[in-house]
Each structure stands twice: as C-alpha cells, then as structure tokens.
C-alpha cells in the first residue's frame, strides 16, 4: 500500500485515442487466471456500481460466467452523489467490488488508498490491449490501479440546416466562431450559436486544455497550480467578450431546457464530447438528419489541436475479496467485441481498447448526422490531444470553486478571468490542507 504522500504526489493525465482488436480474439493475448483460492464450481457475486445503463452487458457476462456473477447497481453520476457514496463505502469498509470512476477522480481515490493494486495480480500483461494514454490514467508510481474504459475527445456539433439557412460559414477557428456568433445573432431571429454553461467547469477545462494550458503539474513531490495562467486567461477573456456582447446564452447544457433549445433552433451548435452523440440523438429526436460534426475551432489557422471532456475507468476498489475475478470482468467489459457493441449502444464514450472503430457501429454512416461518418472527426481529434494534462487529488473542490465563481459572473459580478484568479488561490489552499507540497505558478 502506498504512503499517503506517495499517493498525493502521483497525479494523472487525461486525453484520448482509438482502439484495435480485443485481446480475447488474439491467440497470444493475456487472460487473467482464476484465483488460486477459488474452488472448482464455487460461485461468487461481484457488485458493480455505475451510472451507465449496462444491464444488457452485465446480462451477457452472467450468461457466459455462471460461477462469477455480477450484480449491477446504478448510482448517481459524477458529483451528484455517486462518488460520495463510494468514498463513504470505503470509509465504512464495505465498498462494492467494482465502480465506474472518471479519470479526473482517480487521484482523489488514491488519496484515501481506495484503489486495489492490480499489479499484484499481473494486470500489466493487459496493457497492450489498451490505448497507452488511457491505460496510464490508472497507473500510479508504476503500479496499475484500474482498467481504462473510455474517453471523450471534443468536436464541434452544429445544425447544418441552420447554418445554411442563415448563410453562416462553419467556423474553423475561434476568430471565425466569434464572427459566426455575430452573424447568427443578426440573422437567426433570437437564436445564439451556443450556450456557455457556468456550472460545468469540466467543459471549460477542455477549452483551456486545447489552448495549451496545464492547470496542474508536478515537480518531484510538489504540485504546481496554474489555473489563471496566460492560456487560461485568454480563453476566459474570449468567452467574457461573447457573453458581454450577448452572442451566447448562459445556460447549463444537457438539461431539458437546453435540449429544447436545440430542438427549436434557439441554439445552433455545441462544442461537445464524442459521447454527446447519443444524448443529442435521444433528447432532440426532431432534429434527426440536421446535424453535422467537424473539428472544434482552432486558435491557430491550419492547426489541429483537440482536448478531452470526460472519460472513465472500471476501478476495483480497495477491500474487495475477489480482486482477480473483478479484474477479469473489468477487462472483458472493456475489450470483448460483444461487450463493446453494447457499450457503444449505451453511449459510453470513445473506447480505451485498441480496436478498429471502423469495424464497429462507430464507423458507420449515421442518419441522425445526415449520413456522415461523424466519428472520423473524433478519431482524428483523439490523435491531437495533449496527453500531459493532469488532474489534482482535490478535483471536486476545484470544480466547486470554479462553478461558484462562474456562477457569480453569470449573475453579473466580475469576469471569468477574475474568477480564475480567485480560484487559483483557493485551489492552492485546498492542496495545502491535504498536507501536500504546493506552489503557485505565478
């Protein structure tokens, strides 16, 4: 078990990339052996907490593995209570065997030694089955702590019919995006190009990530915090201007009102993650055939840089009595071809397994997107993400500070750039309160 200081100093990165054939189909692929302690015919039950509707996937596993059954329990997603429940279970000593944990949350689980050391059970043999950067999300101090599942490369979803109707050029740069926003404001009868979601700093983090910012990095055992650096301020100033000039609306995304605005054409586009395809398809069905996807706008003409929003691992929590079987299920879940087909149908994100996405549903033309093979955009984006981005072990607190500060801006108090400056100091204090060595980049 790592020391507390080792756990705190490790940090993680975030980004994305495609997949290649599941190791279950490869003759020489690594398969985790059955626990030596398990007697032939002995049945065990694994408990799996997730917010993704994986019932069909779990049913498939259970039908093939009568001796190792999985009980799926749906918990609230993200910061809506699921992580609090996981941490409470760890503290109480009764955690589930497996849990879906987003990449940005892994450092906080390391903080409380909440992740099983899978290297003890040969997990490193599974690494070739996964995209390297996603595999590394769960490696701390050279020890494997979780099995990667999926990421969320960013792209630009836009209503092709509206852009054509209003004679607005699809922007390829952020400068052109601002011009398109002004054109839509003049010609769109009250519509806006998009919304800015003050309550979702993870979305904003993707924008500054693309610009080249690095909010956190480590030097030896010291955390360096740079939330209000030059790149982040440039992005904040940009959106301050769009909000000030009434070119975007302040509205939380992925909520009923937001989907309604998408349906009615009051919002014409969205800088969103690959996993947003299923959300648009399911919540704005009246817009089928009217959407297209392209790369997110660039800061430099002719360049191609992208970023990531979201991404999860299948974690084996500390305290499970069936670590080997849990790891075997996690590996099957994220690499088995049949499982992957079901994961795609549930909209789980951009896969961590190395498989040819063109041979799956992700590579097919989609009627909702006008017959476009839109995932080609995300596959390319996935190859142009700075994978050095790191998250801190106080991520939830950082996001809460940013959401509060952005909320004050949305109510007319200050600017997004000033909000970043305020959060910089608060995040430094949070890390110090955890007993970490930390310094501000300024």
Q: Is 287 helix (H, G, I), strand (E, B) or coil?
A: helix
Nearest Cα to Cα of residue 290 among 299, 278, 281, 298: 281
**pLDDT over 70 at 49, yes or no:** yes
- Residue 174, C-beta contacts closer than 8 angstroms, at least 6 positions apart: 238, 297, 298, 299
Global pTM value: 0.85
- Residue 233, C-beta contacts closer than 8 angstroms, at least 6 positions apart: 417, 420
pLDDT confidence tier of residue 67, bands split at 50, 70 and 90? very high
Distance CA 206, CA 279 (A): 19
Q: Quick one: tokens of 80? A: 């809506």
pLDDT for the residue 20: 18
CA atoms within 13 Å, Cβ hemisphere of 351: 32
For 322-368, the pLDDT digits (tens) are 999 999 999 999 999 999 999 988 878 899 999 899 988 899 999 99
For 153-164, the pLDDT digits (tens) are 999 999 999 999
């Amino acid at each position: 078990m790592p020391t507390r200081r080792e756990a705190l100093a490790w940090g993680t990165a975030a980004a994305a990339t495609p997949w290649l054939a599941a190791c279950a189909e490869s003759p020489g692929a690594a398969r985790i052996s059955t626990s030596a302690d398990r007697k032939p015919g002995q049945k065990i039950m694994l408990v799996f907490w997730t917010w993704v509707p994986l019932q069909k996937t779990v049913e498939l596993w259970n039908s093939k593995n009568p001796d190792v059954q999985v009980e799926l329990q749906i918990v609230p997603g993200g910061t809506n209570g699921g992580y609090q429940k996981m941490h409470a279970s760890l503290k109480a000593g009764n955690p589930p065997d497996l849990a879906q944990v987003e990449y940005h949350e892994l450092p906080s689980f390391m903080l409380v030694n909440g992740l099983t050391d899978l290297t003890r059970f040969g997990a490193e043999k599974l690494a070739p089955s996964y995209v390297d950067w996603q595999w590394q999300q769960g490696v701390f101090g050279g020890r494997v702590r979780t099995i990667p599942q999926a990421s969320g490369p960013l792209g630009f979803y836009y209503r092709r019919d509206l852009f054509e109707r209003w004679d607005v050029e699809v922007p390829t740069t952020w400068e052109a995006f601002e011009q398109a926003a002004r054109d839509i404001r003049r010609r769109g009868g009250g519509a806006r190009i998009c919304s800015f979601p003050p309550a979702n700093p993870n979305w904003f983090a993707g924008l500054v990530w693309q610009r080249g910012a690095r909010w956190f990095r480590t030097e030896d055992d010291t955390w360096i915090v740079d939330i209000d650096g030059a790149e982040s301020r440039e992005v904040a100033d940009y959106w301050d201007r769009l909000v000030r000039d009434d070119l975007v609306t302040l509205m939380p995304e992925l909520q009923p009102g937001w989907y309604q605005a998408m349906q009615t054409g009051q919002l014409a586009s969205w800088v969103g993650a690959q996993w947003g395809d299923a959300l648009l398809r399911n919540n704005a069905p009246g817009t089928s055939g009217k959407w297209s996807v392209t790369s997110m706008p660039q800061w430099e003409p002719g360049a191609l840089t992208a970023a990531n929003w979201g991404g999860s691992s299948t974690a084996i929590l500390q305290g499970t009595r069936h670590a080997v079987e849990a790891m075997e299920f996690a590996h099957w879940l994220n690499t088995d071809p049949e499982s992957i087909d079901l994961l795609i149908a549930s909209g789980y994100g951009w896969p961590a397994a190395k498989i040819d996405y063109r041979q799956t549903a992700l590579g097919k033309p989609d009627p909702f997107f006008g017959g476009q093979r839109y995932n080609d955009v995300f596959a390319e984006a996935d190859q142009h993400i700075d994978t050095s981005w790191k998250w801190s072990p106080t991520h939830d607190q950082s996001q809460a500070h940013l959401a509060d500060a952005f909320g004050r801006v949305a109510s007319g108090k200050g600017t997004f750039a000033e909000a970043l400056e305020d959060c910089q100091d608060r995040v430094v204090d949070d890390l110090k309160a955890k007993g970490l060595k930390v310094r501000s980049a300024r």
